[in-house]
């Protein structure tokens, strides 16, 4: 039921109250309900959170529109004659919203079918597991639970002097509502989100410059993977400047702005997209007198099973200092529910979670990069194979990329346990599954190399990379 349907004269009591309806929150609610728990879910906006409404889903829809544009642009290479394509970005944005609305409707129906009570409003946790739900109409309801899960999510980080205005300066929130494509743009931040936006814009014809303060873009990725993305981006006409910090911008009378960066350098652009990460949305979620710890960055402090310092209160998702990924939020929600049920769950090993970046070419990885494995004290063996020789990639005309495997060196100098799998290239976000399983099951190279890969397929390259590490290979 929504907040307006509650009996305001008395408290509603549940097995679990979840504050926040994003991936971590709704996963907690759905998983707990499927285990027979009576669940209340409090959401101030719409269930689905950032991922569904302002993140994963809409951003990937725009990337898919860019992929369609690329495909039509190169149709002649396949003998398909078509008029040169044009972009109607307004139609693209409308389609994005239809996709979001469809998934929102489905999620709302699923929560209802699981008998999760959804309260519309701002949730604040008070003493004794009581949660005040403050509605937009000024009315409030008090609900309570034997347990409470905090999942308030996150907000885009901004930079002083680059406050978003929805006209020239954008965060991910404003960019996803943009009705036309700018001719020129600066993307501040070369992480996963920044590279996805840069890729979308460049494929649609925008002249893009990425400004990244760190020494390389995609700082968490293996250096060989980053190198391929950089070369591919440069082929698209994307300018990449690393090791530079922005210092300000000056709007121009004719429109757009001039961005200052580095040692006095400037660039005039029509739009600035700020992609410097996200901050936890914890303000106002916890009332005074509740012993839920908040660290210096604003994150809720939680242990490996997502417990906070307040007995009976757990925290999941972007509001705790773990990888800000929807699927990590799902997993944390399940861990919290298992702990509430007394099932003694094993905490998540965050060093082995799957990562997927949907720029073109795509990036996907799990486990250690080569440099991280060496820094952790491992002696390693690596193997790299490029899609250039993969039959399916050649057929698709998408040969830019590779598979790289990092394994622990055994006492006799051979490749043993698999420490990391890193991919860049066509549809690698859909290929990572077997690499993720290999890393998390601590499989050896010999074990994985024994599996048969279908031919012709992109996944053959993963198998070939493993086979080569055994000392024998086909191609």
**Pair 404, 457: CB distance under 8 Å:** no
Running DSSP on this structure, what letter comes out for residue 208?
A: E
Terminal alpha carbon distance of the chain: 60
- How many angstroms separate the CA atoms of 235 and 459, rounded? 25
- Cα-Cα-Cα-Cα dihedral of 25, 26, 28, 29, to 10°? 120
Identify whether 422 is a catalytic site residue: no
- In 3D space, the residue among 391, 325, 335 whose CA is nearest the CA of residue 358 turns out to be 325
Q: How many CA atoms, within 13 angstroms, populate the side-chain half-sphere of residue 359? A: 29
Structure tokens at 263: 């040692």
How do beta strands 184-188 and 169-170 pair?
A: unpaired
In the chain, count H helices and then E strands: 13, 22
Burial call 97-109: b when 16+ CB within 10 Å, e when fewer: eeebeebbeebbe
Nearest to 317 by CA among 45, 112, 100, 50: 50
Please state, in angstroms and rounded to a whole number, the distance separating the CA atoms of residues 236 and 199: 8
Catalytic residue among 12, 13, 249, 455: 455
Cα separation of 247 and 249, whole Å? 7
* Residues recognised as catalytic: 455
């Amino acid at each position: 039921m929504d907040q307006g349907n509650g009996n305001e004269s008395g408290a509603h009591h549940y097995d679990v109250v979840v504050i926040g309806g994003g991936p971590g929150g709704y996963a907690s609610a759905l998983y707990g309900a499927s285990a027979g728990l009576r669940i209340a879910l409090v959401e101030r906006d719409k269930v689905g959170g950032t991922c569904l409404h302002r993140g994963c889903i809409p951003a990937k829809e725009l990337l898919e529109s860019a992929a369609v544009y690329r495909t039509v642009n190169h149709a002649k290479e396949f003998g398909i004659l078509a008029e040169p394509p044009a972009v109607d970005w307004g139609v693209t944005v409308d389609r994005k919203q239809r996709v979001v609305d469809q998934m929102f409707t489905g999620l709302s129906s699923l929560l209802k079918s699981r008998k999760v009570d959804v309260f519309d409003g701002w949730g604040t946790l008070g003493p004794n597991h009581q949660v005040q739900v403050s509605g937009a109409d000024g009315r409030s309801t008090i609900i309570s639970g034997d347990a409470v899960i905090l999942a308030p999510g996150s907000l885009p980080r901004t930079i002083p002097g680059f406050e978003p205005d929805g006209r020239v300066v954008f965060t991910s929130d404003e960019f996803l509502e943009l009705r036309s494509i700018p001719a020129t743009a600066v993307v501040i931040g070369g992480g996963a989100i920044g590279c996805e936006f840069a890729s979308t814009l460049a494929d649609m014809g925008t002249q893009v410059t990425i400004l990244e303060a760190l020494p390389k873009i995609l700082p968490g990725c293996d250096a060989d993977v980053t190198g391929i993305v950089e070369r591919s981006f440069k082929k698209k006409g994307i300018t990449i400047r690393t090791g530079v910090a922005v210092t300000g911008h000056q709007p121009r009378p004719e429109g757009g702005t001039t961005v200052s960066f580095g040692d006095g350098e400037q660039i005039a652009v029509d739009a600035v997209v700020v992609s410097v990460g996200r901050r936890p949305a914890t303000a106002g979620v916890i009332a005074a007198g509740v012993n839920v710890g908040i660290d210096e960055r604003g994150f809720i402090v939680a242990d490996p099973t997502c417990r906070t310092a307040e007995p009976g209160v757990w925290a999941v998702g972007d509001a705790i200092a773990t990888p800000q990924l929807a699927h990590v939020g799902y997993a944390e929600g399940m861990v919290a529910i298992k702990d509430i049920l007394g099932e003694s769950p094993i905490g998540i090993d965050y060093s082995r979670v799957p990562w997927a970046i949907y720029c073109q070419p795509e990036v996907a990885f799990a486990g250690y990069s080569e440099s991280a494995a060496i820094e952790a004290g491992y002696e390693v063996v690596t193997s790299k194979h490029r899609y250039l020789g993969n039959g399916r990639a050649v057929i698709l005309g998408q040969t830019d990329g590779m598979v790289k495997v990092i394994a622990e060196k055994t006492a006799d100098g051979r490749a043993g346990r698999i420490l990391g799998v890193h991919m860049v290239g066509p549809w690698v976000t859909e290929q990572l599954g077997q690499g993720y399983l290999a890393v998390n099951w601590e499989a050896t190279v010999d074990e994985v190399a024994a599996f048969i890969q279908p031919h012709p397929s992109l996944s053959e390259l993963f198998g070939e990379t493993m086979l080569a590490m055994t000392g024998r290979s086909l191609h």
